[in-house]
Structure 1
Amino acid sequence: MLKNRLLLSISAGHFAVDVLNSVVPVLLAALAVPLALSNAQIGVALTIQIFAGALSQPLFGWLADRFKGRPAVLAATGVAWMAICLVGIVLVTNWPLIVTFVGLMALGSGLFHPVGTAGAAAAAPARAASATAIFFFSGQLGLSLGPLLGGVLLGAPGGAHLMLLLAALTVAPAALLFSAPRPAIPVGGVARAARATIQAGVAILAAFVVLVALRSSIQSVFMSFLPKLFADRGWDPAAYGAIAGTFMFTAAVGNIIAGDIADRYGMRAATIWPLLASVPAGLICLWSPSPVAAFVACGVAGLLIGGQHSVLVVHAQRLLPVRQGFAAGLILGFTFAAGGIGTALVGALADGIGLLTAMQGAVLLALPAAILALTLPGRPAVATAPVVAEA
């Protein structure tokens, strides 16, 4: 698996893409004072980022199903586009232009994610589940390191312009993708027809949709506003970048743990208990006056809130009888869009009731989400059939 050049190239690209994605909230938090930005303005910009990436993913997934031979070329284009847009965000000083570049940058992410998700499975069709897990872990690792790298760079002399160095470093993964080999089978030929079919009623499907929306909103709010919350408390960019990175790193680890729990005890167990436990952990993270306690609680909250992402994506894929790229675009697009709605609402509420109070409300969404998770499958009776090539 680790010798698979295509998989390694796509995973490296995912790491780079999500480093660039996660550095944007830190950069906007640093620009808040010189540009006199409100919480609502930052929330709108981040919502545009999320929605532009989310709503474009089904279209780009459909494109991936038709660009079967070289998915890595499309993925490389997404990485390069994001780097160019980050340069634009750094160099302009006009807020409407910054928001425009944030939205354009998200299109690169929207292109990369469905192409990369489908390409990872096509790179190792005999072990598609493991390949996809490596792909998602690489992205989560990028999400965790991006705020830390951004905070360190923004806290150094030269501040925002050092972000140009970060953009330049993405040349390496983009080059790897451009030179990557073709997949073992065409991307459009990867099917999930052999998976177990889930018969679900309308009420259960609706509960699942709301569950995904609530969980995604909690994670998105933490990713988007942790830097701003602690910047308002006087933390320097390196510190608030580090705590945001801690949240995303433990979320990456949580995906691995939750996946193992789901395989052993079912999706219900992997989702309900972590969501319930995330409430006290999330509140301690927000309330704690001690930086050490805040970091520890933030790490625990990330582990518990972010861990269900891959579990819910797998469950959603079983419900979608469509091609790999388009399915990936639909699933990820909805997840990110739902998170964008939550981010927008919290940003709007924060200017009226305070950012801390608004984020506390987001944490409490885990309670109804846990109730909705009762509709998820319990302990699996039989092993899921392996992914096979479409005839």
Structure 2
Amino acid sequence: MSQGPEQSAAQNTVMKVLLALSCAHLINDTLQALLPSIYPVLKETYGLNFTQISNLTLTYQVTGSILQPLVGFYTDRHPKPYSLPVGMGVTLIGLVMLALAKDYFALCLAAGCVGVGSSFFHPEASRVARMASGGQHGLAQSLFQVGGNFGTSLGPLLAAAIITVHGQTNILWFTLLALAGILLLVRVGRWYQRNLGLLKPKPRAAGEAGPVRLSRGKVMLALATLVVLVFSKYFYLISLTNYYTFYLIDKFQVSVQTSQICLFVFLFAVAAGTIIGGPVGDRIGRKRVIWISILGVAPFSLVLPHLGLAGTVVFTVLIGVILASAFSAILVYAQELVPGNVGLIAGLFFGLAFGAAGIGSALLGRLADHTSIRTVFEVSAYFPLLGLFTAFLPEVEPKRRAAN
């Protein structure tokens, strides 16, 4: 049966919403990525050690991790369409503080402010992506996530071109990007306000398989397993995101700008791989994607510390592509595990991602101060092996009916 003009127009509208969310996520995560990207600059300017640098990340990540589940829990019951531009506004304030910071305490305040901005953005944006998914939840989350990952990859590149060359106060130029994000999210908020009815669950069609029902104990075991997997992914990811530039400078004596470009290449690979995970998960199931995306990284991560510069760059690209699909698959799996709590689950798992990254950064920073930056990469190489815990995840998706 062919689609009518009204249905086609509606599909075009929601695709525009998904693309707008992806663009807003790109802006949000570009701004967030500026902080770790300029760590070499801050280290030299303020005379920081690795522990102090890791505490900046801990401040930013933990602020976001604590607030995101609370924001998601509240907005599940009281949707707030215009919390999206408010979150971007808080990030803008954090950028101004970061540009004008005079001491380490001011840097920590700025980092915390950026974390608060993220805590408002991610749960509600993830909810809107699910609203506009048309049932293709994995695809919608991948489109949403890929914007963020591209933004994260752009951060180091822009930092190398603008901040590293011209100085810390040039962060103020990025407030223009934040203002553009606010205007975009105001428009998304209007669509969200007009379509709150999409939050209500739709009745299933005759013969359509329902979700798999699990006991409370199995749900709790599955959630605990997902927490372990999130920590595995982000402990390893933060070792690359935060310490890759220092590793390249220490082991291969490359310049700061060269190290930032290599970081961009890795993060671009993460962004490119993200778009694969959602559609593949819609087709073959989230659990299989989780298996491949976390445990599949282990052979590459274990070899990485023993490679030369060219091999290191190539292997980090492969790691980025494989690892990228994990979070979208985990998030959609968890939302199907606990239906009716989209905001809470999004906030919880974005919060866990932030918290895991913050804790991992702090621990790895102390390890670097007491040993060496190379030891950090040798130790963190084992984190992807925790992907073996995927075996404890039950099947939550209805079995697909065979074609007639």
Give the TM-score band, short-chain normalised: 0.7 to 0.9
How has the CA–CA distance of structure 1 residues 130 and 279 changed in structure 2, closer, same or farther, with 3 Å as cutoff?
A: closer
**So what's the TM-score if we normalise by structure 1?**
0.87
Unaligned runs of 5+ in 2: 1-10, 205-209
How has the CA–CA distance of structure 1 residues 379 and 178 changed in structure 2, closer, same or farther, with 3 Å as cutoff?
A: closer
Task: Name the CA distance, whole Å, in 1 between partners of 2:134 and 2:380.
Answer: 39
1:189 aligns with 2:199: yes
How has the CA–CA distance of structure 1 residues 219 and 249 changed in structure 2, closer, same or farther, with 3 Å as cutoff?
A: same
How has the CA–CA distance of structure 1 residues 211 and 179 changed in structure 2, closer, same or farther, with 3 Å as cutoff?
A: closer
Instruction: Write out per-residue CA displacement over residues 79-100 of structure 1, whole angstroms, 9 at most, x where no aligned residue.
Output: 1221221121121120111111
1:172 maps to which residue?
Answer: 180
2:264 maps to a residue whose letter is G
Given candidates 338, 342, 365, the residue that maps to 2:383 is 365
1:343 maps to which residue?
Answer: 361
Does the aligned pair in 2 maintain the 1:15–1:142 contact within 8 Å?
yes
How has the CA–CA distance of structure 1 residues 83 and 214 changed in structure 2, closer, same or farther, with 3 Å as cutoff?
A: same
**So what's the TM-score if we normalise by structure 2?**
0.84
1:271 aligns with 2:286: no
2:195 maps to a residue whose letter is I
1:376 aligns with 2:384: no
Deviation, 1:205, is 4.4
1:219 aligns with 2:237: yes
Q: Give 3-state SS (helix, strand or coil) of 2:211's partner.
A: coil
Unaligned runs of 5+ in 1: 385-391
1:52 aligns with 2:82: no
1:36 maps to which residue?
Answer: 47
Does the aligned pair in 2 maintain the 1:65–1:188 contact within 8 Å?
no
Deviation, 1:252, is 2.5
1:114 aligns with 2:104: no
2:346 maps to which residue?
Answer: 328
Does the aligned pair in 2 maintain the 1:2–1:8 contact within 8 Å?
no
Matches within 5 A, 1:63-78: 63-68=74-79, 71=81, 73-78=82-87
2:98 maps to which residue?
Answer: 89
How has the CA–CA distance of structure 1 residues 261 and 66 changed in structure 2, closer, same or farther, with 3 Å as cutoff?
A: closer
Deviation, 1:39, is 0.9
Does the aligned pair in 2 maintain the 1:66–1:188 contact within 8 Å?
no
Task: Name the CA distance, whole Å, in 1 between partners of 2:355 and 2:395.
Answer: 27
How has the CA–CA distance of structure 1 residues 179 and 54 changed in structure 2, closer, same or farther, with 3 Å as cutoff?
A: same
Instruction: Write out per-residue CA displacement over residues 251-307 of structure 1, whole angstroms, 9 at most, x where no aligned residue.
Output: 2232333334444444444233443442343355444332x3332211111112232
2:338 maps to a residue whose letter is L
2:5 maps to which residue?
Answer: none
Task: Name the CA distance, whole Å, in 1 between partners of 2:41 and 2:341.
Answer: 41
Matches within 5 A, 1:114-133: 114-125=123-134, 127-133=136-142
1:185 maps to a residue whose letter is N
Deviating more after overlay: 322-331 vs 345-354: 322-331
Deviation, 1:372, is 0.9
Matches within 5 A, 1:205-354: 205-232=223-250, 234-290=253-309, 292-354=310-372
Identity %: 25
Alpha carbon RMSD of aligned pairs, Å? 2.8
Task: Name the CA distance, whole Å, in 1 between partners of 2:303 and 2:185.
Answer: 42
Task: Name the CA distance, whole Å, in 1 between partners of 2:285 and 2:396.
Answer: 4
